[in-house]
Amino acid sequence: MSAITVRLPDGSSKELDGDVSAGALAQSIGSGLARAAVAAVVDGAEVDLSTELADGAEVSIVTAATPAGRDVIRHSTAHVLAQAVLRLWPGARYAIGPAIEDGFYYDFELPGGAHFSDDDLARIDAAMREIIAEDQSFVRSEHSIEDALDVFVDQPFKREIIEAVRDGADEHDAAAHSDDADRAISAYANGADFIDLCRGPHVPSTGRLGHFKLTRVAGAYWRGDEKRPQLQRIYGTAWESAKALAEHLHRLEEAERRDHRKLGAELDLFSFPDEIGSGLPVFHPRGGIIRRLMEDYSRERHASGGYEFVYTPHITKRELFEISGHLQSFADGMFPPMELDGGHEYYLKPMNCPFHILVYRSRQRSYRELPMRLFEFGAVYRYELSGVIHGLTRVRGLTMDDSHIFCTADQVPDELRFLLFFVLDLLREFGLSDFHLELSTRPEDKAFGTDEEWAVATEALRVAAQSAELELVMDEGGGAFYGPKISVQARDAIGRTHQMSTIQLDFQLPQRFGLEYVGADNGRHRPVMIHRALFGSVERFMAILLEHYAGALPTWLMPEQVRVLPVKGDIEPYAKTVVARLVAAGLRASVEAADSGVGARVARAKVQKIPYVLVVGDSDVAATTVGVNRRGSNDPERDVPLDRFVEDVAAEVAARGAGPQPEGVEPGE
């Protein structure tokens, strides 16, 4: 064994003698790095720490608390999961077990078609911890195809994967794996009882694992194909430290606490009656207030933004969607037709655009009328598969704040910029502030419109996006066949990204409907059409706001802004005058009579996330004051003059401020 020299990421070199493994390199750099190391990257390829380094290799160490390091930990934990399941269910077949975002899974077929239960998760967890305590080494081996088929003779899923590699079904993968090993198959064994087909790398031994939790069991098709066997999948999460695991679990709890479906029931906002059907919500009075405020404010802004309001029906004859092309490309997403008037088929509308087009086309248009911005809160119905329906975010009946803009080609750049600033401004008013933009360009295959139209429109979108001074992510080839689009992505208070508004150019519909305007040259021209959704759907936007604010909506959107609690019965008349003052100032307020203790009533009001709870007693009657409890504070402010309180809250509402927020809720702006 002679000394070798390897190069490190910082450009320096390191000489190794004797043990020339990647792990030894980490150790020679520092014991801290060695402890954190889980794998290495040698000349661009991820490898095990046990890999012997060649002279001149370029090496970096993969540490646990990095995306790549967590992948290794998760993938290794998935192996231990499979090993535990095979110990507990001899004869079980195991399929695939990759690392995924925040965790891992493994798919199994149990003997006799058995399936996992929640109790099993605890047993598997215990078996996994035994394997980890045994600190088994992960040992890599390489096999020829024939040899590998032999090793996995009782494992049909593994054999299928090996055969796929042999038959070159996995062409570029095999190439990336090794050019010269003649399609070698690698496997990792740990302990005497477990070997799994695997590309690696893995942590050196199972003792490096342990900060994991099995989360749920689910069914999943082999290779995601519903025609193939359904396997039993176990999901888990794994992290580099107990702290990181605890933080992840806390994030999950936080997301659950904010779940708009839960908040909707708790705050009495909306429900999904079985009698109506899946994905079809009803809004209760309190939810109705929020919705009306959202819509009213949106209308106000649209009116001052030069939009014109139109109203169109919910159903239409088949012909309209034939002209628009929706029936040809979108029929699966539409409710089936109803037959009326002796054989005419009528459809519930899944989109508003064709209707707005007919408004445009109702008479001859002049260039002087353009840009024409038509706006409608349009109720649309889409037949979503029952399995994908989710709360208010994926429904079968929804209300789009839909706008269609008709303009001349020359007007497109200015109009796009106008639209983008309009939507960003309104989203900010609702407290979302962390945006980025995504620009979807022409798809590879068939696309409507000429190359030049696409180039001009895409460039106009790019210029508009850049003028907004937000991060712009390109989605090359991600546009629809009928035109490029820009979408606004918003990050919420717990870091999730939601697609909000979209601005989409359409080269197809103006042509399909033969739209025209008469230009200054007295000639006929085709207008450009822009689709613009702002909230997207009012229902979904409400859900996003509820989760963003964890139910503690800004005061201006809260159904009940102030609740007044008289400490005892004879204070009630004063409490009523306080409410009258608040109502006169345009606020929504109520009294809760002294039928139960002040403590109990304050507790209830806090659960309901009322922004201001006023407690009034004898001293307040005497001095015309109130005791103010702000949402999120446990420190009441006594003897606040009523006049000042009314003035402050009215000003806050007028400014659409976030209002007092509970701890842990980001108020947005």
Of residues 386-405, which lie at the interface with RNA (CB under 7 A)?
386-391
Kindly state the smallest distance separating residue 344's Cβ from RNA, in Å: 27
Residue from the set 292, 596, 641, 647 that interacts with RNA by CB under 7 A: 596
Q: Which stretch binds RNA (CB under 7 A): 23-31, 128-136, 170-178, 288-296?
A: 170-178
d(CA 656, CA 601): 27
Q: Which stretch binds RNA (CB under 7 A): 25-33, 131-139, 329-337, 379-387?
A: 379-387
Query: Which of these, 130, 75, 116, 113, lies nearest to 97 by C-alpha position?
Result: 75
**Choice between 66 and 450, CB closer to RNA:** 66
Kindly state the smallest distance separating residue 118's Cβ from RNA, in Å: 7
Residue 517: Cβ-neighbour burial (10 angstroms; 0-12, 13-18, 19+): buried
Residue from the set 25, 26, 161, 552 that interacts with RNA by CB under 7 A: 161
Q: Which stretch binds RNA (CB under 7 A): 119-127, 215-223, 409-417, 530-538?
A: 215-223
Which run of H or E residues covers position 397? strand 397-407
Indicate whether 68 belongs to the interface with RNA (CB under 7 A).
no
Q: How far is CA 157 from the centre of its chain?
A: 32
Kindly state the smallest distance separating residue 635's Cβ from RNA, in Å: 8
Task: Return the bridge partners of 367, or none.
Answer: none
Kindly state the smallest distance separating residue 594's Cβ from RNA, in Å: 4
164 contact partners, CB below 8 Å, separation of at least 6: 170
Indicate whether 600 belongs to the interface with RNA (CB under 7 A).
yes
**Choice between 130 and 142, CB closer to RNA:** 142
Which run of H or E residues covers position 487? strand 485-491
504 contact partners, CB below 8 Å, separation of at least 6: 480, 483, 484, 485, 486, 530, 531, 532
Indicate whether 174 belongs to the interface with RNA (CB under 7 A).
yes
* CB 213, CB 236: distance < 8 Å: yes
d(CA 561, CA 553): 10
545 contact partners, CB below 8 Å, separation of at least 6: 430, 431, 553, 557
Indicate whether 162 belongs to the interface with RNA (CB under 7 A).
yes
Tell me the C-alpha to C-alpha distance, in Å, between residue 40 and each of 59, 74, 138, 654.
Answer: 7, 16, 15, 58
Residue from the set 35, 115, 251, 344 that interacts with RNA by CB under 7 A: 115
**Choice between 88 and 598, CB closer to RNA:** 598
Q: Which stretch binds RNA (CB under 7 A): 127-135, 197-205, 296-304, 489-497?
A: 197-205
Q: Which of the residues 225 through 244 are near RNA (CB under 7 A)?
A: 226, 230, 232-233, 235
d(CA 624, CA 446): 72
423 contact partners, CB below 8 Å, separation of at least 6: 488, 500, 501, 503, 532, 534
d(CA 39, CA 200): 9
**Choice between 166 and 318, CB closer to RNA:** 166
Neighbour tally for 134: CB within 10 Å: 12
Q: Which stretch binds RNA (CB under 7 A): 25-33, 192-200, 335-343, 469-477?
A: 192-200
Kindly state the smallest distance separating residue 138's Cβ from RNA, in Å: 12
State both tokens at 487: 């979408």
Query: Which of these, 405, 401, 444, lies nearest to 426 by C-alpha position?
Result: 401
Q: Which stretch binds RNA (CB under 7 A): 22-30, 190-198, 483-491, 536-544?
A: 190-198
| DSSP, residue by residue, 326-390 | HHHHHGGGSPPPEEETTTEEEEE-S-SHHHHHHHHTTS--BGGGPSEEEEEEEEEE----GGG-B
**Choice between 161 and 457, CB closer to RNA:** 161
Kindly state the smallest distance separating residue 451's Cβ from RNA, in Å: 29
**Choice between 33 and 100, CB closer to RNA:** 100
Is residue 393 helix, strand or coil? coil
Residue from the set 123, 177, 213, 284 that interacts with RNA by CB under 7 A: 177
Kindly state the smallest distance separating residue 656's Cβ from RNA, in Å: 24
Q: Which stretch binds RNA (CB under 7 A): 47-55, 411-419, 466-474, 601-609?
A: 601-609
State both tokens at 491: 């990050």
**Choice between 401 and 547, CB closer to RNA:** 547
Residue 565 is given by DSSP the state E
**Choice between 328 and 634, CB closer to RNA:** 634
Indicate whether 150 belongs to the interface with RNA (CB under 7 A).
no
d(CA 18, CA 58): 18
Indicate whether 551 belongs to the interface with RNA (CB under 7 A).
no
Kindly state the smallest distance separating residue 442's Cβ from RNA, in Å: 21
Q: Which of the residues 260 through 319 are near RNA (CB under 7 A)?
A: 261, 265, 272, 274, 277-279
Residue from the set 218, 246, 338, 463 that interacts with RNA by CB under 7 A: 218
406: phi then psi, degrees, rounded to nearest 5:
-110, 125
Indicate whether 165 belongs to the interface with RNA (CB under 7 A).
yes
Residue from the set 42, 132, 457, 602 that interacts with RNA by CB under 7 A: 602
Q: Which of the residues 552 through 591 are near RNA (CB under 7 A)?
A: 567-570
d(CA 548, CA 263): 12
Residue from the set 56, 219, 306, 514 that interacts with RNA by CB under 7 A: 219
Residue from the set 133, 242, 252, 385 that interacts with RNA by CB under 7 A: 385
d(CA 84, CA 96): 15
Kindly state the smallest distance separating residue 661's Cβ from RNA, in Å: 12
**Choice between 29 and 594, CB closer to RNA:** 594
Indicate whether 136 belongs to the interface with RNA (CB under 7 A).
no
Residue 54 is given by DSSP the state P
Query: Which of these, 467, 468, 460, lies nearest to 485 by C-alpha position?
Result: 460
Kindly state the smallest distance separating residue 49's Cβ from RNA, in Å: 19
Binding-site size for RNA (CB under 7 A) equals: 77
Kindly state the smallest distance separating residue 139's Cβ from RNA, in Å: 14
**Choice between 219 and 306, CB closer to RNA:** 219
Q: Which of the residues 603 through 642 are near RNA (CB under 7 A)?
A: 603-604, 606-607, 613, 615-620, 627, 629, 634, 636, 638
Cis omega (within 30 of 0) for bond into 371: yes
Residue from the set 166, 223, 299, 428 that interacts with RNA by CB under 7 A: 223
Neighbour tally for 387: CB within 10 Å: 7
Q: Which of the residues 484 through 523 are near RNA (CB under 7 A)?
A: none
**Choice between 426 and 546, CB closer to RNA:** 546
